[in-house]
Amino acid sequence: MPGRVLAEWNRWRDVALALAMCAMGQYELWSGSTYDGAAVWPGGSRAFYTVLIVALTVPLAWRRRWPDAVCGFVFALLAVSCAVLGGGEATTEFVLFVVTAFTATAYARWPTAQAAAALVAGTIHELRDPHVHGFSDAVWSLGMLVIAWLLGWAVRTRQQRIGALESAARVAERLHAEQVAAATAAERAEIARELHDIVAHAVAVIVIQAQAGERALPRDTALAAEVLETIETSARSALVELRRLLTLLTDGSESALEPLASLTRLPDLIATFRAAGLDVAYDAPNALPTLPPTADLTAYRIVQQALTNTLQHAQAARVALRRDAGRLDILVEDHRTTGSTPPEHHGAGRGLIGMRERLALVGGELLEAARTDDGFRVHATIPLEPTEEPTVDLTEYHAVDLAAEPAEERAAEPVEDRAEEQAATPETVR
């Protein structure tokens, strides 16, 4: 039963109880009920007892709402009336005493004080009632009082248990809501990072290639066609990853839950940047480590973001991966050609923020992201399962500068044009 409905039902039950008690007392009074030849309401006029019965019984209508006030008032009025007029044998008075004692134990804020008041009122009644004969009558009255207390205590204990369960349920519900909100925020942040990584990489490649194609078109149609093909490939790849991300958001199928990218796709990623005109030296173990999906995706995105920044600000880069005991080190360095100007706010953009957030999710760390004498260096580490492999410093890597290798079908002229343009725009930020 809902709380408000139950409270309303209990209120009307208390009103009915108060009216019934009042009616019973008035009946005993006006019908002339007696006990052993004496009136059950002794020592006063009917008019006085009419008012007294109303004063004793009507407050029971609020016994749950204001239990301390109601019980204290009833016990005090009973004690005073018995002390002044004497104790009687009215059934209404006995039932009223038991109900009030039960109410005090079950609902009162200070049940101990109310129990003391009940004992005082009961003692005065027993001492002033001429029909109480010996210790046995007093024990019987005390026994009824104890039964009322025990019943009230049982109700009080049950209410406390229910209150504790309801409180625990509210706390659990609040914690669940907080967890859902935190999970939702984390998912949104993850989606934002994915969208940034996918779109930023693809758009950067497309912009650079479009500039190169525009300059090459009047002079070299074959090169322009190759550039357009690279643009198409980058756009299609971005669309595929965006579709997989949207599939994950809509139906959550198992295929959508697979990582969007992994270290096994690094050669393809580097080939894309090389096709865009960036000289990339790649140094990694022949067998890349098998990582947990989140760590695998994070490592891929770190390299992708670092190379995307390099594509916008430099002309050559070096990527090195090393699995030490318990961690994967990722090193990406870019090198500017002579005459290029480093950006004023290098590394202050969304890309490095996304790197730090991704690494934090897998317990990793962005150890370095700062300018060097001739470029910019990104050094990240991701914790892995403990291994027995020896630790090797990344400085032992000596990557081959791919700028000395044949450029195959890369266009040198668009790259030079891009370098001149970047040198003229130092305000470009990562």
Instruction: Identify the pLDDT of residue 349.
Output: 55
187 and 267 part of one domain: yes
Cβ 96 vs Cβ 52: under 8 Å: no
Whether this prediction's pTM lies above 0.75 is answered by no
For residues 391 and 256, state if they share a domain.
Answer: yes
Query: Do 94 and 214 fall within a single domain?
Result: no
Confidence (pLDDT) at 246:
65
The answer to whether residue 430 is domain-embedded is no
Tokens 């022949």 belong to residue: 286
> Is the residue at 197 inside a domain?
yes
What's the domain range around 297?
179-423
Rounded Cα distance, 315 and 416, in Å: 9
Domain count, the chain: 2
Same domain, 351 and 247: yes
Tokens coding 317: 């880069």
Q: In this structure, are 128 and 183 located in the same domain?
A: no
- State whether 96 and 228 are in the same domain: no
pLDDT computed for residue 396 by the predictor: 35
- Is 31 among the domain residues? yes
Q: Is the same domain home to 292 and 395?
A: yes
Q: Is the residue at 174 inside a domain?
A: no
Q: Which of 132, 159, 193 is the last residue of a domain?
A: 132
Helix axes 111-128, 67-85, angle to 10 degrees: 20
Whether residues 194 and 69 fall in one domain: no
Same domain, 104 and 209: no
Q: Do residue 74 and residue 185 come from a single domain?
A: no
pLDDT for res 330: 92
Domain end (from 132, 148, 164): 132
CATH no. for residue 237?
3.30.565.10
Residues of the chain with pLDDT under 70: 1-3, 134, 187, 191-198, 200-201, 240-260, 336-350, 385-430
